[in-house]
Amino acid sequence: MDYEIRKEKIYNGETLAYRYKKGGEKTLLLIHGNMTSSKHWDLLMDVFDNEYTVYAVDMRGFGESTYINTFNSLSELSEDINDLCRILKLRDLVVIGWSTGGGVAMELAAAHPEKVKRLILMESVGTKGYPILRKNEKGQPVSGEYLVTKEEIASDPVQVLPILNAYASENKEMLKAVWNAVIYNNNKPEDDKYDEYCDDMLTQKNLVDIDYSLVHFNISSEFNGIKEGTGAAGRIKCPVLILWGKNDLVVPEYMALDIKKDIGYNAKLIYLENSGHSPIIDNIEQLLEKIYDFI
């Protein structure tokens, strides 16, 4: 692999780590999702067009980045990345946001349009966030009953607490079971690579902050059941490509459709065949084809 890991201290005292691969004058910025870090972009970085210099950031509390300050919103994470871009003098970027990273990327594009030239949202959280529902005594979600506080979210017996426990006990087999069920449900990485990814998952220090931020994320112009939207999606004016795998078990199709509706005319939705929440593992050739056609 011909990239290196670098670090920069940003305005709020945090230090953001990022993977850097030198290429041409065009610049690609990669923003990872929940339970991952820039490590999970490695296969894409290995093969991406050498006309692009590539930066893949570890968001606050992931990978090798610090976690000095807790946070309550994806916009705080986008401001971290904006300051990193200021320090590195990055602008006119092609940005790819994956899953939770898609929400962070949308916030960045809405607030700092001079930074983002083109935006690609890969299996992204929708514009109305990612709710966590209260569970009944059988562990089934109760429609319309949302978990709102960090205390409620941390105690969720199905989506959150098992991951917190797996992190605390460094139970990589449990993490693999979760990923096999809902993320690597089409294809799986090679064994050595999978072990590396699980080691990387254990570096996450901010799970409850992230889940809380996703629950409260709403950049639509509507009420999402928890809060009114900020309307920020409508302020994204760069060309936007939305990629949604037809076998995605994490992000439902309606979230991709919400993104297209709320961003508007400049957003295009493309469906990925035989692909779930991890197109890099499921079919990287198809993924690259769609990205290159767009950029």
189-213 pLDDT tens trace: 999 999 999 999 999 999 999 999 9
pTM of this structure: 0.97
Confidence of residue 8 (pLDDT cuts 50, 70, 90): very high
Identify the burial level of 132 via C-beta atoms within 10 angstroms of its C-beta, where 0-12 means exposed, 13-18 middle and 19 or more buried: buried
What average pLDDT does the segment 57-74 reach? 98
Query: What number is the average pLDDT over the span 20-47?
Result: 97
CA 246, 252, 257 angle in degrees (round to 5)? 85
Q: What is the mean pLDDT of the chain?
A: 97
pLDDT recorded at residue 1:
59
Q: Tell me the C-alpha to C-alpha distance, in Å, between residue 38 and each of 18, 41, 136.
A: 7, 5, 36
Give mean pLDDT, residues 273-291.
Answer: 98
Percent of the chain residues topping a pLDDT of 90: 98
Given a cut of 90, is residue 101 above it in pLDDT? yes
Report d(CA 254, CA 129) in Å as an integer.
12
Superfamily (CATH) of domain 4-294: Alpha/Beta hydrolase fold, catalytic domain (3.40.50.1820)
Output the pLDDT for position 194: 97
Task: For 103-150, write each residue's pLDDT tens digit.
Answer: 999 999 999 999 999 999 999 999 999 999 999 988 899 999 999 999
Helix (H, G, I), strand (E, B) or coil at 141: strand
- Phi-psi label, residue 204: left if phi above 0, alpha if psi -120 to 50, beta otherwise: beta
Residue 3 pLDDT class (50, 70, 90 cuts): confident
Can you tell me the mean pLDDT for 275-286?
98
Give the pLDDT mean for 222-243: 97
CA pair distance 62, 197, nearest whole angstrom: 12
Rounded to whole angstroms, how far apart are CA atoms 101 and 75? Answer: 11
CA 220, chain centre distance (Å): 18
